[in-house]
Structure 1
Amino acid sequence: MTENSLVQDDFIRTFSKNADEPSFLTDFRLASWELASKLDLPFVDKTKIDRWNFTQFGTYQAFQSELTNEDLPEEVTRLVETNNPHANYYIQIDQRPVKRQLNKELQTQGVIFTDIFTAIKEHPELVQKYFMKEAVKADEHKLTAFHAALVNGGVFLYVPKNIEITEPIQAVFVVDKANAPLLNHVLLVADDHSSVTYVENYISLDSEKSGIANIVEEVIANKNARITYGAVDNLPSGITSYVNRRGHVGQDSTIEWALGLMNDGDTINENVTNLIGSGASSDVKTVTVGRGKQTQNITTRVTHYAKATTGTILSHGVMKERATTIFNGIGHIKHGASKSDAQQESRVLMLSKEARGDANPILLIDENDVVAGHAASVGRVDPVELFYLMSRGISKQEAERLIIHGFLDPVVKQLPVEGVKELLQEVIEGKVR
Structure 2
Amino acid sequence: MSTPTTSFGREAAAALARSKNEPAWLVAWREEAGELASKLDLPKPEKMPIQRWTLDQYGTHRPGNAVTAAAELPAAINELLLAEEQGALIVQHNSSVVFTRLSEDLKAKGVVLTSLEEAARTHEKLVRDHLMTAFAKDEHKLAAVHAALWNGGVFLYVPRNVDIEFPIQALMFADDAEATFMPHILIVADTNSRVSFVEQAATLIEGESATLLHNSAVEVFAKAGAHVRYAAVHHMDDVVIDVSYRRATLENDARVEWIVGELHDGNTLTDTKSILKGNGSTSDTKIISIGTGSQRMSLTTQAVHFGKSSESDMVTRAVMKEEATAIINGITKIEHGATKANGQQTEKVLMLSPKARGDANPILLIDEDDVKAGHAASVGQVNEEQLYYLMSRGISRGEAERLIIHGFLDPVVSEIPLAGLREQLHRILERKLG
* TM bucket, shorter chain: over 0.9
Partner of 1:21: 22
Give yes or no for the alignment of 1:46 onto 2:69. no
For 2:284, give the aligned amino acid. Answer: D
Partner of 2:364: 363
Contact 1:76-1:172 at 8 Å conserved across structures: no
Give yes or no for the alignment of 1:427 onto 2:428. yes
**Shift in CA distance, 366/12, structure 1 to aligned 2, threshold 3 Å:** closer
**Shift in CA distance, 5/402, structure 1 to aligned 2, threshold 3 Å:** closer
For normalisation by structure 1, the TM-score amounts to: 0.95
Structure 1 residue runs of 4 or more that deviate by more than 6 Å after TM superposition: 3-7
Return the alpha-carbon distance in structure 2 between the equivalents of residues 4 and 193 of structure 1.
Answer: 44
For 1:335, give the aligned amino acid. Answer: H
Shift of 1:413: 0.5
Contact 2:382-2:401 at 8 Å conserved across structures: yes
For 1:256, give the aligned amino acid. Answer: E
Partner of 1:404: 405
Deviates more, 1:202-211 or 1:395-404: 202-211
SS class of match (1:410): helix
Contact 1:114-1:156 at 8 Å conserved across structures: yes
Identity %: 42
Return the alpha-carbon distance in structure 1 between the equivalents of residues 8 and 282 of structure 2.
Answer: 46
Shift of 1:9: 4.3
Q: How does 1:84-233 map to 2 (within 5 A)?
A: 84=85, 86-133=86-133, 135-206=134-205, 208=207, 210-233=211-234
SS class of match (2:425): helix
For 1:147, give the aligned amino acid. Answer: H
Contact 2:162-2:192 at 8 Å conserved across structures: yes
Contact 2:325-2:357 at 8 Å conserved across structures: yes
Partner of 1:247: 248
Return the alpha-carbon distance in structure 2 between the equivalents of residues 261 and 223 of structure 1.
Answer: 30
Contact 2:177-2:212 at 8 Å conserved across structures: no
Return the alpha-carbon distance in structure 1 between the equivalents of residues 65 and 119 of structure 2.
Answer: 11
Shift of 1:68: 6.6
For normalisation by structure 2, the TM-score amounts to: 0.94
Return the alpha-carbon distance in structure 1 between the equivalents of residues 5 and 237 of structure 2.
Answer: 30
Partner of 1:256: 257
**Shift in CA distance, 373/12, structure 1 to aligned 2, threshold 3 Å:** closer
For 2:167, give the aligned amino acid. Answer: P
Shift of 1:20: 1.5
**Shift in CA distance, 7/170, structure 1 to aligned 2, threshold 3 Å:** closer
Unaligned runs of 5+ in 1: none
Contact 2:314-2:344 at 8 Å conserved across structures: yes
Give CA deviations for 1:240-279 in whole Å, capped at 9, x if unaligned.
1211001111110000010000111111110111000110
For 2:429, give the aligned amino acid. Answer: I
Give CA deviations for 1:310-341 in whole Å, capped at 9, x if unaligned.
00001000000000001101111111001010
Deviates more, 1:64-73 or 1:156-165: 64-73
2:82 counterpart (80, 83, 87)? 80
Contact 2:63-2:93 at 8 Å conserved across structures: no
Partner of 1:296: 297
**Shift in CA distance, 4/208, structure 1 to aligned 2, threshold 3 Å:** closer
SS class of match (1:268): strand
**Shift in CA distance, 397/255, structure 1 to aligned 2, threshold 3 Å:** same
For 2:24, give the aligned amino acid. Answer: S
Contact 1:207-1:237 at 8 Å conserved across structures: no
**Shift in CA distance, 289/42, structure 1 to aligned 2, threshold 3 Å:** same
Give CA deviations for 1:157-212 in whole Å, capped at 9, x if unaligned.
01011111111000011111351231110001101111100001011123555311
Return the alpha-carbon distance in structure 2 between the equivalents of residues 356 and 159 of structure 1.
Answer: 42
Shift of 1:16: 1.9
Partner of 1:380: 381
Return the alpha-carbon distance in structure 1 between the equivalents of residues 97 and 371 of structure 2.
Answer: 47
Return the alpha-carbon distance in structure 2 between the equivalents of residues 156 and 7 of structure 1.
Answer: 27
Return the alpha-carbon distance in structure 1 between the equivalents of residues 26 and 65 of structure 2.
Answer: 15
Shift of 1:296: 0.3
SS class of match (2:21): coil
For 1:148, give the aligned amino acid. Answer: A
**Shift in CA distance, 246/7, structure 1 to aligned 2, threshold 3 Å:** closer
Return the alpha-carbon distance in structure 2 between the equivalents of residues 323 and 4 of structure 1.
Answer: 28
Shift of 1:56: 2.7
Shift of 1:63: 4.7
Return the alpha-carbon distance in structure 2 between the equivalents of residues 313 and 9 of structure 1.
Answer: 38
**Shift in CA distance, 248/392, structure 1 to aligned 2, threshold 3 Å:** same
**Shift in CA distance, 4/354, structure 1 to aligned 2, threshold 3 Å:** closer
For 2:142, give the aligned amino acid. Answer: L
**Shift in CA distance, 9/303, structure 1 to aligned 2, threshold 3 Å:** closer
Deviates more, 1:203-212 or 1:180-189: 203-212
Deviates more, 1:105-114 or 1:16-25: 16-25
For 1:80, give the aligned amino acid. Answer: L
**Shift in CA distance, 179/297, structure 1 to aligned 2, threshold 3 Å:** same
Contact 1:78-1:419 at 8 Å conserved across structures: no
SS class of match (1:421): helix
**Shift in CA distance, 296/207, structure 1 to aligned 2, threshold 3 Å:** farther
Partner of 1:61: 61
SS class of match (1:321): coil
Q: How does 1:298-337 map to 2 (within 5 A)?
A: 298-337=299-338
Contact 1:62-1:152 at 8 Å conserved across structures: no
Shift of 1:213: 1.1
Shift of 1:286: 0.2
Contact 2:170-2:200 at 8 Å conserved across structures: yes
Return the alpha-carbon distance in structure 2 between the equivalents of residues 342 and 99 of structure 1.
Answer: 40
SS class of match (1:182): coil
